[in-house]
Structure 1
């Protein structure tokens, strides 16, 4: 049985770890290739795009993929919709693995935004020194805000266009609460912008912001493609794979 995991996330690596070495299971993880030195999961790994939904469907057929797991980042909306279209075209069962989103607690000052553009519109009214943790790909959205100062944290160095008053911090989670407290204090941050990525690796910044009374702009997630089954943890995804009827058919030697 051939399983393709669309990965790049912690959950994708954990799922690959749970499935790797299972007798009779061929495992391939696909990474987008946007990070220069990604953390690789166990098993076979391919890097790069598929060429849209049609290209992915062709890859699924060519490599006889039995089930597809979309374990990409919650904000990787394009590839998730491509995966849904490709899986339908190739008649391959699809599961989405999505970590739960964050939820505000007492003391949080959260402002929801439906997009990076909306976040950029909200920013000038909330602060002047911005901790921007939305990744390096969307910095052009904030490039016109030349009256604000930005601390941008990303895994790889960003490319222009980006805000003219900016300091880049190259780092990769997980982050500690003590470290996030020091960062906010040292850079005199008065507003935080983040995507609702969920998980624990980058959540300490939210606690640090709450403690410091720093408002947080939270960009909402894009929707999951309609009709796609969703689980929230790697263990449930591994169970879905190993209990899928296609697994039983392969074990019994059926075509």
Structure 2
């Protein structure tokens, strides 16, 4: 079985490890960064491509490589690539799965400090209007900084990002002080988030609704303890995605694989 995996997330590493342990499979993982590709190889991926791919490139790779299945395990906020991958699978008539981490269960969490927004531009406006004192911790990646900073000055802005060339170039372009850049190596613990709030005198934190694997609960708990606001960006709604194509865990992924390849896996 040859699998084309759109990766770059912790979910995708879990998928690679699970498939390699349980199936006779070759996995090609695509990521947008060398760092993501390195993690994929360490997880057991047979090959990687470490750059963004256009739709036509993906189609060509799948056709030339005679891949049997396309799995999209990109970030919940990567709406464009998910729409593109679903259309590619339909066009090529190959089995397709969208692995989508569940939304965060907040039933037993104090959510009184959460303010929801549908975009980063909206988040920036909200900060300018309602949280004009104290500093801003941006825990939502380098690609989303510019929209927030249309409304928030660089002197208040502290992004937590991967210290890779592209991200640092974006910081430089936006005139973000290098001393404001917080290196990211993975989801932070509650205490690490508390330490950052204290160190940078933050009054508000920006995060995506990226699920428990993205450390959302630890961010909320830290904000609650330090009595600061959280602006949480809602997940985008992805049109044209068949609900039957979505799985939320590895058990559901197994069921899909076995249904697609029932003659091989019983």
- Shared topology, TM-score over 0.5? yes
Alignment of structure 1 residues 84-233 onto 2, 5 Å: 84-104=86-106, 105-124=109-128, 125-128=130-133, 129-144=135-150, 145-146=152-153, 149-156=156-163, 157-159=167-169, 160-162=172-174, 164=176, 167-203=180-216, 204-224=218-238, 225-228=240-243, 229-233=245-249
Cα deviation for residue 49 of structure 1 reads 4.6
Greater alpha carbon shift after TM alignment, 197-206 vs 11-20: 197-206
> Once the 2 structures are TM-superposed, how far is the Cα of residue 51 of structure 1 from its aligned partner?
4.1
Native 8 Å contact 2:8 2:36 kept in 1: no
Question: How many pairs are equivalent?
Answer: 250
Tell me the secondary structure at the aligned position of residue 175 of structure 1.
coil
SS at match of 2:168: coil
Report matched runs for 1:27-42 at 5 Å.
27-33=27-33, 35=35, 38-40=38-40, 41-42=43-44
2: distance between equivalents of 1:153 and 1:37?
A: 20
Counterpart check, 1:248 vs 2:262: yes
Conserved? CA contact 2:37–2:49, under 8 Å: no
Q: Measured at CA, do residues 54 and 85 of structure 1 come closer, stay the same or move farther in structure 2, by a change above 3 Å?
A: farther
Q: Secondary structure at the match of 2:215?
A: coil
Instruction: Mark the runs of 5 or more structure 2 residues left unpaired by the alignment.
Output: none
Q: Quote how far apart the aligned CAs of 1:34 are.
A: 6.4
Going from structure 1 to structure 2, the CA distance change for 1:38 and 1:136 (only over 3 Å counts) comes to: farther
User: How big is the alpha-carbon RMSD for the aligned residues of Structure 1 and Structure 2?
Assistant: 2.5
Per the TM alignment, residue 164 of structure 1 is displaced from its structure 2 partner at its CA by 4.5
CA distance in structure 2 between the partners assigned to 1:202 and 1:114 by the alignment: 19
Contact 1:195 1:221 survives alignment (8 Å)? yes
Q: C-alpha displacement at 1:37, in angstroms?
A: 7.1
| Alpha-carbon distance change, 220 to 66 in structure 1, aligned in 2, over 3 angstroms | same
Is contact 2:154-2:176 (8 Å) kept?
no
Q: 1: distance between equivalents of 2:136 and 2:34?
A: 24
Greater fraction helix: 2
Q: TM-score, normalised by structure 1?
A: 0.87
